[in-house]
Structure 1
Amino acid sequence: MRATLRWAHSDLRTHRGEALFLVLATAGIVVSLLLATALFGYATNPWQRVFAESRGAHVWIHTSESAKVGRLTGLDGVDSVAGPYSTAAATLASRGTRAAVELRATPDRPTVGRPLITSGRWLNARTPDGVVVESSLARALLAEPGDTLTLPGTGRTVTVLGVADAAEPRYHAGERAGLVWALPSAVPHPTGRVIGLRLTDPADTDYVVQRAVTVLGAGAVGEVSTWQQARAEAQGDYRLLGQVLGLFGLGALIAAGLAVHGAIATRIRGHLRDISVLKAIGFTPGQVVRVFLSQHLAYALLGAVAAAALTETLGSRFPGGLGDAVGVWQGLPGYTAALFAVPVGAVLFIGATTGLAAWRAGRVPPVPGVRPVGARGERVPGGVRAVPGTRAVSLPGGQLSALSRRALGTRLSPALVLGWHTVVSRRLRSVTTVARLALPLLLIVVAMSAWTTIDRFHSSPERIGLPAALTVHANDGLSERGTRALLDRDPQVAAAYPGLEVAALVPGQTATIALRGLGTRQDPYPYALAEGRPARGDDEAVAGQGLLDLLDVRIGDWVRLTVGDQPQILHIVGRSIEPENAGRVVSTSLDTLRQNDPRLTPTLYQVRLRPGADPRAVAARLTAAGHGRLDVHAVANPADGLSPLRGVVAGLIAVLALIGLIELLTAIGGTVREGERDLLALKAIGLSPRQITAITVTATGCTALAAALVGTALGTPLAHWLINAQGRSSGIGSGIAQAPSPALLVLLGAAAVLGATGLAALPAARAARRRLADTLSAVA
């Protein structure tokens, strides 16, 4: 045991930097995996908790006021109902912020779909104008219990009694109205009704919706929302962040395992004589294997424990939503098990790769083999010929190839030629080194692509389906002409596209999707198309990926949608990039919708601003110009929720760079040790220490260059595939991936090559200046 500890201590002193990098890389990998687990838990469990505690309804159906919703209580598969409740559309304003809301007349606190009060209290008759506001709407309005909210244009005010969570779709400015519970007296003029259905089997959701629409009649149904939609919306960007972290964490773990495997294999090749001595003095093969295995398991364990401790103590203090996610995750039932299982899994994986490499050390014979020498009488650079009858010496990589000999006959430096020959001649070893080094570089390219794609969402929103910066709704009887005049009067408004968005029933009447009519044939809306062509003719439309998947249709198909009791038959001619409503959107021109249903009139304007205009300033100016008759909202950019991903990507790049550094140090150490054996031959043919150093530096640089080319060539298409696959699964659709600029990729490759050559220069120079007596002992 003492000899084993002394050997491990000596090896640690020799490879301090490599040990430190292994500990840091393992810590970074385990932290990323723990954060991925936290984000997955945060994305799923909060909504699931609210749904369970509130006995949430699986289906919410909005109907007309005259619909006979009482018939739904006897449907097969319906366990219980919430409501029906009368509803009215309204606008609430607070602290200069306005929001479209649905006032829901709720005489008693529900038993199904019961709002969970997070602050304040529930409704009571002593405060007839009191309301309870859904939490996401409360955050948008900056409203708290006790605040007074106004209803612009009515002269009415309401008092916030409480804020509550609900397992229903959340408020999104300009896209979905917020939810407000009020007493029936506070909803004097209801315009519709809503009923919630809690099912005996959630898997029957589509069937129950279809039956409900059949019973009520398609003309009576305005909108249908299901628990699957609410859950997917609640998970939102956190699930995406978890997927990104998990993907890169697993990739980095594999890269770290390969790096450890390569480091041990290289160290074994450089210490064959030492291992033979250990066996000669009584070490068994199992003891030799345990030396390497225990040493690297200790590094991995130290990094994993540090990562778990960091996540436990500082995880909830991470900036932004990442810290909130970790804080919630720490209170979930499976937190302790995950905090233990993830580090243990990482250590076991590294231990498996370590054991595979250490097994080779156990097979080293007690008597080291004789190193093969060069052919007798072989001509070497400089015209020197090995003397017959004497011990021959070998050149780096063995016998020179014909190409290398021709290169030496030119004006090329012998050091460059021999460095390239060293890499090419050791094909298997060089290929494995390039592969191990290319993997972290490949993942860095993927991470850079994710960063570039997010920047594209911010810098060029029109290319990802967001050409308009503002959404404007007219209130209080403001005419279409008056609204258009107000918009055209602003100098920073480039274009205003009239339109409307209605809920439409899909074929089979199992769900509702968004049917959007924007622009006219004379002034078409600039949709961002990924496939197909724009909708120019009658009955032509473009659709998001989410709708194509929902209806199982393709470009060129016809779809029949139902708005109230009016059918809309549209020809899908293109696929648009749709970041809203999970891509479940069909878009056409306003003229086409009016042609099919003349009763439809514009209800909104999508406003495109001039370059450099501030959306907030323009929104404030339009609101003031409209004297409270315009609701102006900035169009939400999905990249806003991905802002934590920038810091995550930066951290992952740092971890991957550490892993690449470990692999570089391994490659450099192996090349230097191999070069020490050839030092006599190189000095014998007249090469100076500087030229001998250049051989090692060139070999390392060529390896790094090959790895950079492979990593870039494979990482760019892989990044496109991964990002577009995520876009398809989220409903936005493919076509959103953006590769880093060629200059950035060249900079990455240059940094890898320059870093490799810089790291190799010092150890190579030291080896080249060794005394001849030391060199003779190394090759003896």
Structure 2
Amino acid sequence: MSALGRVVRAGVGRRRVQTVVIAMVVLLAVTAAVLGATLMVASNGPFDRAFDQQHGAHLTAEFDATKATLEQVAASAGAAGVTASAGPFPTTAISPESEGARHLQPITVVGRTDPGGRVDAVALTSGRWVSALGEIVVQGDPRMPPSMQPKVGDVLSLPDLPDKPSLTVVGVARSVSGTAGGWVTPAQVTALIPAGRSGGYQMLYRFASADTAAQIDADRAAIEGTVAAGAVAGMRSWLTTKAVSSGNTILLVPFLIAFGVLGVLMAVLIIGNVIAGAVSTGTRRIGILKALGFTPNQVVRAYTVQALIPASVGAVLGVVTGNVLAIPILAETNSIYGTADTGVTPWVDAVVLAGALAMVAVTAWAAASRAGRLRTVDVLAVGRTPGPGRGQWAARLAGRFPLPRPVTLGLAHPFARPLRTATIVMAIAFGAASATFAVGLSASLNEVQATERHGDVEITPGRQMSGPPPEGTPPGGEPGRVAMGPPEAPDPVAVVKAITAQAGTSGYSGVARSEVTVAGITEELDIVGFTGDNSAYGYRMISGSWLTGPGQIVVAKPFLTATHTTIGDSVVLTDHSTPITVRIVGEVFNSENKGLELLTDAATLMAAEPDLRPMEYNITLKPGTDAAAYVASLNTALTGAGATAEVTEDDTAEFIVIVDALAALLTLLLVTVAALGVLNMVVLETRERVHDLGVHKALGMTPRQTISMVVSSVIVTGLIGGAIGAPAGVLLQRLVIGEMGRVTGFSLPTSVVDVYRPAELVVFGLGGLLIAVVGSLLPAGWAARTRTATALRTE
């Protein structure tokens, strides 16, 4: 081994604290970077590849056949910016039932003679394309269980149409643009349109510029300008489709980027401080090395390599940790396209690993360059204690406080080396900011979860039982009765009478569910019809107002974006082949069905479904009401009504559990690293002042007083770091939660964004002091155990 190698090995072994600190900060930074980059690739990669391969449509437009002719729709392909188009294709909406009378959700069907074309080349995954009347190809959805999806050979009946026709599934396909729920021949579309009603036309476009929402808006305006006003029934952007397809993984990207940035900045600060401290404490050693013939460049390389060795270990562990954490999160994205190539990406690991080591090398080289500039004579002649006069003003000021002398001595220590103190203040600030950010983000997501709670008690249909139990019925089953099919809606008159008769009832709402289609959105949408006097409970309004009667709907921002509508606009819903015109009266935060669920008065749906009845009821209780006793009394009153009441349970979504777990883990790492940075600083301070420590001990300072002095030396840095970190954490939480809302297309209510109370911010600010004190305890104990004679001999 060369002389330089022996110096490096000795330095790594001797400075164990600094070695651990460097490894930990690099591990954290690389873990967050691998997670963020992997999820970013996973959330975009599969869709982008499929979109390019299938020539996906940047805009899918639906035209009203009563306001635009086939020729006028076809002429829209000549709009400014259009580079390719497909259509016009005839369209209509159907509400199919499969064998066994299983009701499927309504879908938009499009008439196409073949799956190919210049835009939206549909990919068949099984079966063949339609070639005759009575056939249909359905859109596959890998996010749904196979048992819930139609398959080749299934027969779909259409009981809402005259003569109750049926369609045989001859193929399953996948359109990356989501342009239809099914495809039939153009002639079949005409046969599926009820008498007295008109269908529509679909056009698919690709544009020269369609990468941003602003460009899409301009493209949309160009298309609308080619036809009469009102002819465009709806348009869907590929950006909306991409956001929905990316699933929850895209939500994690801004969250992990925030932690990654914190980790990188902390790594730069602490690694720079560690190397600068090593140079400072090794001044005499550097002089000896130069006296023995080491060149300035060799000295700098020695200290740089001493940082790179633990950094390499931390970087490798960080890559492994980041990939392990990414695997369960990527499971959802993998299932969306049925792919297995959206997991660990080797080039991401390589780029992050190389970037981390380059960052460490540059930071360490910059900090170690001072060692190369030191003159041999000068460094051999000086000790390690800071020069006289540095920080004396702070010592005099602290001495005026009515505090024990060891405490005032400790309070003045940080001012002797202000630059070093400033870096540790920032490290503590990052730790405090991480804790503040993580707690605030968790509170925001929990508030999002709370918006899904619409009552304290819920009523659901009772089980429908009939006949003797089959052979082999497990013990404990109800004697003489077996479960039969889906439950029926409970008697609404009996249920409402039972609810209103209970003394603890504050309000209630009945919930009836159905599915509809809307022009501009090819897939079916869930719609919730409310009865009762408290339907708004749990929902957070963004703008507009809640429902005041039938003919109105309240929607979330993704619906407004997908349909290019605003509050006050009217849209046409198709429910069981019946068109229903409704007006949008409010925007609400509602994450159900990716924000595409519609909320309305149950009477709105009665035109198409006169027998529609609520399947469940949500009840809010008066303050102080015993929920268990209320449920017991209500169940007695519901006897014979075909319904059962129970206390509403809060089920935390899996995504929120993942985010909370990741936030806790990454925050723990950041806080630990911040504490290690403090520990490193205190170790350096203690070693530099070891001779002064011996003098104090010789003058009678006890071990307990020594600990007080060392711990006091970090109080100022802890308080300042906490005071900076807590507000920074608040700003970061608001930035990240806002970005999460932006990438998913939601407007966020104030209750989700503003989650901090003043008292909590004070606690988070004091968290910086806690980090500093915890980091100083170990070197304080070492200083207390140092023997007086040993300390006095050290220079």
Output the TM-score relative to the length of structure 1: 0.73
Amino acid at match of 1:453: S
Q: Aligned partners of 1:467, 1:51: CA distance in 2, in Å?
A: 45
Amino acid at match of 1:189: L
- Write out per-residue CA displacement over residues 233-286 of structure 1, whole angstroms, 9 at most, x where no aligned residue: 223432221222223212211111111011112222222222222222222222
**1:683 has 2:685 as partner:** no
Residue equivalent to 2:55 = 55
Residue equivalent to 1:415 = 406
SS in 1 for 2:271: helix
User: Cα distance, 1:346 vs. partner?
Assistant: 1.9
The answer to whether the Cα contact below 8 Å between 2:143 and 2:336 also exists between their aligned partners in 1 is: no
The answer to whether the Cα contact below 8 Å between 2:509 and 2:530 also exists between their aligned partners in 1 is: no
SS in 1 for 2:694: helix
Q: Aligned partners of 2:15, 2:222: CA distance in 1, in Å?
A: 71
Residue equivalent to 1:443 = 434
Q: Aligned partners of 2:152, 2:558: CA distance in 1, in Å?
A: 41
- Write out per-residue CA displacement over residues 508-539 of structure 1, whole angstroms, 9 at most, x where no aligned residue: x9999x99998799877458557677469999
User: Cα distance, 1:6 vs. partner?
Assistant: 2.3
Q: Aligned partners of 2:336, 2:11: CA distance in 1, in Å?
A: 38
Higher mean displacement: 144-153 or 580-589: 580-589
Amino acid at match of 2:790: D
Equivalenced residues, count: 713
Residue 373 to residue 152, structure 1, CA distance change in 2 (3 Å): closer
Residue equivalent to 1:650 = 664
**1:774 has 2:790 as partner:** yes
Residue 252 to residue 185, structure 1, CA distance change in 2 (3 Å): same
The answer to whether the Cα contact below 8 Å between 1:138 and 1:163 also exists between their aligned partners in 2 is: no
SS in 2 for 1:694: helix
SS in 2 for 1:461: coil
Return the match for 2:351 from 325, 341, 345: 341
Matched ranges for 1:237-316 at <5 A: 237-308=248-319
Residue equivalent to 1:476 = none
Residue equivalent to 2:114 = 109
Residue 142 to residue 241, structure 1, CA distance change in 2 (3 Å): same
Residue 429 to residue 519, structure 1, CA distance change in 2 (3 Å): same
Residue equivalent to 2:398 = 404
SS in 1 for 2:746: coil
Residue 703 to residue 668, structure 1, CA distance change in 2 (3 Å): same
SS in 2 for 1:252: helix
Residue 330 to residue 296, structure 1, CA distance change in 2 (3 Å): farther
Residue 428 to residue 338, structure 1, CA distance change in 2 (3 Å): closer
Q: Aligned partners of 1:311, 1:329: CA distance in 2, in Å?
A: 21
Amino acid at match of 1:719: Q
User: Cα distance, 1:696 vs. partner?
Assistant: 0.7
Q: Aligned partners of 1:548, 1:156: CA distance in 2, in Å?
A: 34
The answer to whether the Cα contact below 8 Å between 1:329 and 1:335 also exists between their aligned partners in 2 is: no
Amino acid at match of 1:455: N
Matched ranges for 1:318-357 at <5 A: 318=328, 321=331, 324=334, 331=341, 335-357=345-367
**1:2 has 2:2 as partner:** yes
Higher mean displacement: 300-309 or 528-537: 528-537
Amino acid at match of 1:69: L
Q: Aligned partners of 1:131, 1:567: CA distance in 2, in Å?
A: 29
SS in 2 for 1:678: helix
Residue equivalent to 1:89 = 94
Residue equivalent to 1:32 = 32
Amino acid at match of 1:413: P
Residue equivalent to 2:202 = 195
**1:72 has 2:76 as partner:** no
CA RMSD of aligned residues (A): 5.6
Return the match for 1:703 from 713, 717, 720: 717
Q: Aligned partners of 2:100, 2:268: CA distance in 1, in Å?
A: 55
Q: Aligned partners of 1:638, 1:213: CA distance in 2, in Å?
A: 43
The answer to whether the Cα contact below 8 Å between 2:509 and 2:535 also exists between their aligned partners in 1 is: no
Task: List runs of 5+ in structure 2 lacking aligned partners.
Answer: 462-488, 500-504, 574-578, 621-626, 629-633
Residue equivalent to 1:609 = 618
Matched ranges for 1:484-633 at <5 A: 485=493, 488=496, 494-496=508-510, 525=536, 534=545, 576-577=588-589, 579=591, 609-610=618-619
Residue equivalent to 1:693 = 707
**1:168 has 2:177 as partner:** yes
Higher mean displacement: 433-442 or 599-608: 599-608
Residue 372 to residue 640, structure 1, CA distance change in 2 (3 Å): closer
Amino acid at match of 1:341: V
Matched ranges for 1:419-434 at <5 A: 419-423=410-414, 427-434=418-425
Residue equivalent to 1:134 = 140
% identical equivalent positions: 21
Output the TM-score relative to the length of structure 2: 0.72
SS in 2 for 1:135: coil
User: Cα distance, 1:742 vs. partner?
Assistant: 7.5
Residue equivalent to 2:149 = 143
Residue 559 to residue 292, structure 1, CA distance change in 2 (3 Å): same
User: Cα distance, 1:667 vs. partner?
Assistant: 1.8
Higher mean displacement: 317-326 or 769-778: 317-326
- Write out per-residue CA displacement over residues 698-752 of structure 1, whole angstroms, 9 at most, x where no aligned residue: 2235533442343223212332243235425643224322546788777767776
Q: Aligned partners of 1:265, 1:519: CA distance in 2, in Å?
A: 67
Q: Aligned partners of 2:168, 2:685: CA distance in 1, in Å?
A: 76
Residue equivalent to 1:173 = none
Amino acid at match of 1:166: S
Q: Aligned partners of 2:384, 2:135: CA distance in 1, in Å?
A: 95
SS in 2 for 1:195: strand
SS in 2 for 1:610: strand
SS in 2 for 1:247: helix
Higher mean displacement: 536-545 or 14-23: 536-545
User: Cα distance, 1:495 vs. partner?
Assistant: 0.9
User: Cα distance, 1:211 vs. partner?
Assistant: 6.4
SS in 2 for 1:253: helix
- Write out per-residue CA displacement over residues 370-426 of structure 1, whole angstroms, 9 at most, x where no aligned residue: 56999xxxxxxxxxxxxxxxxxx989954675553333xx5x433223222324565
Q: Aligned partners of 1:101, 1:537: CA distance in 2, in Å?
A: 27
Q: Aligned partners of 1:187, 1:468: CA distance in 2, in Å?
A: 48
User: Cα distance, 1:90 vs. partner?
Assistant: 0.8
- Write out per-residue CA displacement over residues 53-112 of structure 1, whole angstroms, 9 at most, x where no aligned residue: 333334333455666335422331464424624433215579998642315265643223
Task: List runs of 5+ in structure 1 lacking aligned partners.
Answer: 171-177, 375-392, 473-480, 628-633
The answer to whether the Cα contact below 8 Å between 2:142 and 2:336 also exists between their aligned partners in 1 is: no
Residue 602 to residue 451, structure 1, CA distance change in 2 (3 Å): farther
Residue 432 to residue 227, structure 1, CA distance change in 2 (3 Å): closer
Q: Aligned partners of 1:544, 1:460: CA distance in 2, in Å?
A: 13
The answer to whether the Cα contact below 8 Å between 1:521 and 1:536 also exists between their aligned partners in 2 is: no
Amino acid at match of 2:74: T
SS in 2 for 1:318: helix
Q: Aligned partners of 1:733, 1:403: CA distance in 2, in Å?
A: 52
Higher mean displacement: 752-761 or 663-672: 752-761
Residue 349 to residue 462, structure 1, CA distance change in 2 (3 Å): same
Q: Aligned partners of 2:327, 2:526: CA distance in 1, in Å?
A: 42
Residue 489 to residue 63, structure 1, CA distance change in 2 (3 Å): farther
Q: Aligned partners of 1:131, 1:327: CA distance in 2, in Å?
A: 18
Q: Aligned partners of 1:5, 1:765: CA distance in 2, in Å?
A: 33
Q: Aligned partners of 2:349, 2:284: CA distance in 1, in Å?
A: 42
- Write out per-residue CA displacement over residues 557-596 of structure 1, whole angstroms, 9 at most, x where no aligned residue: 99666769999999x9x875454798799999999x99xx
Higher mean displacement: 27-36 or 740-749: 740-749
The answer to whether the Cα contact below 8 Å between 1:446 and 1:716 also exists between their aligned partners in 2 is: yes
Q: Aligned partners of 1:161, 1:260: CA distance in 2, in Å?
A: 63
Higher mean displacement: 60-69 or 244-253: 60-69
Residue equivalent to 1:378 = none
**1:100 has 2:111 as partner:** no
Amino acid at match of 1:321: A
